[in-house]
């Protein structure tokens, strides 16, 4: 059965980097669908693949002009298939953002159906969310098995993480497990408001790739960050 993982947190807490590392880890175990739900998508760069189109652009195309002889659902499906990018052990799809005016209710319904259909073909679905959980609130994704909330050890980031937890409850976003990942930290202390998955320390090899603009797929398998993310995935029951 497909396991669906959501990753969220305050902007700048390393959500996308953690998402890429987790996708690379899960790809060793099975097939992965990576969903970049941030309008300013860059998960593909960390994974070393190019995005041809986004769901947002496809949605706009369907609203603007459907070719003669083709139904709107068929055209939408064709456009969405163009958005799917193949990687090494994973496929990636970027949500992007709608750019044109008009009502998106019908295209959004088609997207929900498409994502639900897609997920059945994968062992894991990893969703890299924008800050604020807007994508999850649109219900364009299936139910979640695990949500990782990213935070830095600073108090203001932890406060934001608590607000995200409250927001999830307000939106009735339910997950099998919701776990805290402390980024750029040597340890994550126990807490009574969320289960702790672990802490990702600063990794010089990771920082070097980031500075050079290189994909994290070039990270050595025995790197510090890789080992820690493997341990977090194990604690979450994903591997």
Number of domains within the chain: 1
Q: What is the pLDDT of residue 118?
A: 86
**Phi/psi at 131 (5° precision):** -60, 135
Whole-angstrom CA distances from 9 to 15, 62, 104, 183, 195 are 7, 32, 26, 11, 15
For the ranges 78-87, 93-102, 147-156, 177-186, which has the lowest average pLDDT?
93-102
What residues contact 129, with CB distance under 8 A and at least 6 apart?
Answer: 6, 7, 8, 15, 37, 38, 135, 136
Region 180-200: mean pLDDT is 90
Q: d(Cα 56, Cα 95) in Å, to the nearest integer?
A: 6
Q: Give how far Cα 109 sits from Cα of 37, 125, 126, 154, Å.
A: 16, 19, 20, 39
Taking residues 6-35, what's their average pLDDT? 94
Mean pLDDT of the chain: 87
Residue 72 has pLDDT above 70, yes or no: yes
β-bridge partners, 146: 5, 177
Cβ atoms within 10 Å, residue 214: 14
Query: What is the span of the domain harbouring residue 103?
Result: 3-235
Q: Show the DSSP H helices in the chain as ranges.
A: 15-26, 43-47, 55-64, 72-83, 105-119, 134-137, 155-170, 204-212, 224-235
pTM of the model: 0.91
Angle in degrees, CA 145, 141, 31, rounded to 5: 65
Which CATH number characterizes residue 164's domain? 3.40.50.300
pLDDT, tens digit (0-9, with 9 covering 90-100), for 103-134:
556 655 666 677 778 888 999 999 998 775 66
């Amino acid at each position: 059965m497909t396991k669906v993982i959501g990753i969220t947190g305050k902007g700048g807490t390393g959500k996308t980097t953690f998402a890429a590392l987790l996708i690379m880890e899960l790809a060793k175990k099975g097939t992965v669908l990576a969903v970049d739900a941030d309008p300013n998508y860059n998960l593909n760069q960390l994974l070393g693949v190019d995005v041809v189109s986004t769901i947002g652009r496809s949605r706009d195309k369907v609203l603007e002009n459907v070719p003669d002889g083709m139904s709107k659902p068929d055209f939408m499906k064709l456009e969405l298939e163009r958005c799917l990018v193949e990687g090494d052990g994973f496929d990636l799809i970027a949500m992007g953002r709608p750019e044109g005016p008009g009502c998106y209710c019908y295209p959004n319904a088609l997207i929900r159906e498409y994502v639900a259909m897609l997920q059945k073909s994968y062992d894991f679905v990893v969703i890299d969310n924008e800050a604020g959980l807007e994508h999850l609130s649109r219900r364009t994704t299936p139910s979640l098995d695990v949500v990782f909330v990213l935070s830095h050890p600073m108090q203001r980031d932890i406060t934001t993480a608590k607000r995200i937890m409250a927001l999830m409850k307000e939106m009735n976003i339910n997950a099998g497990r919701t776990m805290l990942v402390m980024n750029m930290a040597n340890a994550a202390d126990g807490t009574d408001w969320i289960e702790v998955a672990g802490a990702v320390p600063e990794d010089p090899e990771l920082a070097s790739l980031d500075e050079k603009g290189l994909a994290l797929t070039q990270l050595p398998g025995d790197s510090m960050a890789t080992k820690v993310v493997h341990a977090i995935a194990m604690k979450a029951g994903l591997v």
